[in-house]
Chain A
Amino acid sequence: MAKRIDVSGLTAYYGSHKAIEDISMTVEPRSVTAFIGPSGCGKSTFLRTLNRMHEVTPGGRVEGKVLLDDEDLYGTHVDPVAVRRTVGMVFQRPNPFPTMSIFDNVAAGLRLNGSYKKSELGDIVEKSLKGANLWNEVKDRLNKPGSGLSGGQQQRLCIARAIAVEPQVLLMDEPCSALDPISTLAIEDLIGELKERFTIVIVTHNMQQAARVSDRTAFFNLSAVGQPGNLVEIDETERIFSNPSVQATEDYISGRFG
């Protein structure tokens, strides 16, 4: 289910602007890797290169390699649509489809991938909602619109939607930044459970969150505004937050800048 990501020499552009430069790292399967860093350092851009969402932005293009186990996501003849079916994503703002019911939201990805029998679909939806710790809250109103749920519930609905298609990797772009502390806690607990099955990469502005949920942490920085972001270091989370090997990391996590 979970695959290793090997990035080497990755550079991403918006038009002529270089957003991130020469990033190489390895993301271990069945673990949580957190990306931290100041605003504009390109951590979200980098995340979006991992499922080929970056190139959807007008002018967006990528150089370098992203190996998922041994397959290059940017190789010739690789279909970006197929990549996104393998690498799921959860966004900053909860975005369930407003025109669909809770059930249809979770089933949306499955319906794209092929035809399922109704009972089969129901089983997967139930399993996914249970996997996202949302089943008990919504089991009586599966055909109500997803937009009627609270923000935290909507975000868990989006997680259920993402894991329903059984991706290899789950990318999360600041999944808790629009949520209150209690909903945040629910999502963080969920991340702890999901890493048993998926490779998880999470971008967060909240360093405590990175310390709580991740096994490894990558620190991104940029030398000046307008300059491309780069990877400063990636290490065990514990080490990053206690004894980082680069001074800039220590300055950032101790609140001396950023």
Chain B
Amino acid sequence: MDISTKTTAPPAPAEPPAAPLKTTRGATRPGDRIFLGLSRGSGILLLVIMAAIAAFLTYRASLVLSKNDGNFLTTFEWNANNTPPVFGIAVLAFGTVVSSVIAMVIAVPIAVGIALFITHYAPKKIGGAIAYVVDLLAAVPSIVYGLWGALFLVPHLTGFYSWLNDYFGWTHVLEWQGGAPRTLLAVGILLAIMILPIITNVSREVFRQAPLMHQEAALALGATRWEVIRMAVIPFGRSGVISASMLGLGRALGETMAVATVLSPSFEINASLLDPGGGTFAQNIAAKFSEATEQGRDALIASGLVLFVITLVVNGAARAIIARRKEYSGANA
């Protein structure tokens, strides 16, 4: 019968046995464990390095701070090799912050302008060429900037200084007694050129990523090119530009050789940016380190600790600004 032949037909070939769900090695695989270890290790290493730098700076600074005969925060003097040592960071903090702020005020608008031009105005070839030149600017060593600043920029600034004095001298901030223009304003201008590439490059990347769909939305509403940029590109790139500026500011705060070459430091604070007055932390360390005694070096390290803290505060502030606008950032589009 049909039915019996069917029942006696050879059984279907046995399926291969299913892989057991439990294995001897448990739920993790070696690759996962190795990668976890590597990435976790890198993260921890970073924290350890930061902590080690902070601990080193704090320890060496503490050795000399107790001996300081002046006030570390307010004294306008740096005689750290004397016994007892007399030194204070007031002038350095003033000079560092002021020159960096000048650099930011000049560099950020120009960098944003260049970045927008490259990404949204220039024909592709011209934009690429400009981007290449900006990259070159980033590759110039800072001592070369310093030499250019001292030998070319500074001599050519006298005309600009006297122009500022003529028209804005009444503000006192831009008053000029006629000395060599190796002052905080010159340093600020030089630093602006030096931080321009990094701010431009990071801004360029964020502006390039501004989504086309939002630009088209603006266009379709009857926005002009500039209005498209204002509505759909700049807001999208805002947090990126802030990050870029902070990278630039970090470089400006810590810049050493170029500042040391251009600035003629003096341990006083002057209301005018055009007259001598002020130094910077990094420049002061570079200038004093070779002739410093053990104790003098500790004092310089103490000033370095202050620069470290200022940089941390600046970065924290930038992060806070970015976090506050998170809800409106382009990231959750």
Contact = CB atoms under 8 A, between A and B. Distances in A.
Nearest to A93: B213
Nearest to A158: B217
A97 B235 contact: yes
Contacts of B217: 91, 95-97, 158, 161
Interface string A144-184: 01011000000000100110010000000000000000000
Interface in A22-74: 51, 53, 56
Contacts, number: 78
B216 A91 contact: yes
Interface string A94-134: 01111111000000110011000000000000000000000
B224 A81 contact: yes
B229 to A, nearest CB: 13
Contact of A84 (B220, B328, B330, B332): B220
Contact of B327 (A109, A113, A145): A145
Interface residues of A, number: 30
Contacts of A51: 220
B103 to A, nearest CB: 28
B329 A88 contact: no
Interface string B96-126: 0000000000000000000000000000000
B329 to A, nearest CB: 7
Interface string B295-333: 000000000000000000000000000000001111011
A155 to B, nearest CB: 12
A195 interface: no
B231 interface: yes
A108 B230 CA distance: 11
A85 to B, nearest CB: 3
B219 A53 contact: yes
B90 interface: no
A93 B236 CA distance: 18
30 contacts: A53-B216, A53-B219, A56-B216, A56-B219, A81-B223, A82-B222, A84-B220, A84-B221, A84-B222, A88-B220, A91-B220, A95-B213, A95-B214, A95-B216, A97-B214, A97-B235, A98-B236, A98-B330, A98-B332, A98-B333, A99-B235, A99-B236, A99-B328, A100-B328, A109-B221, A112-B221, A147-B332, A161-B217, A161-B221, A165-B221
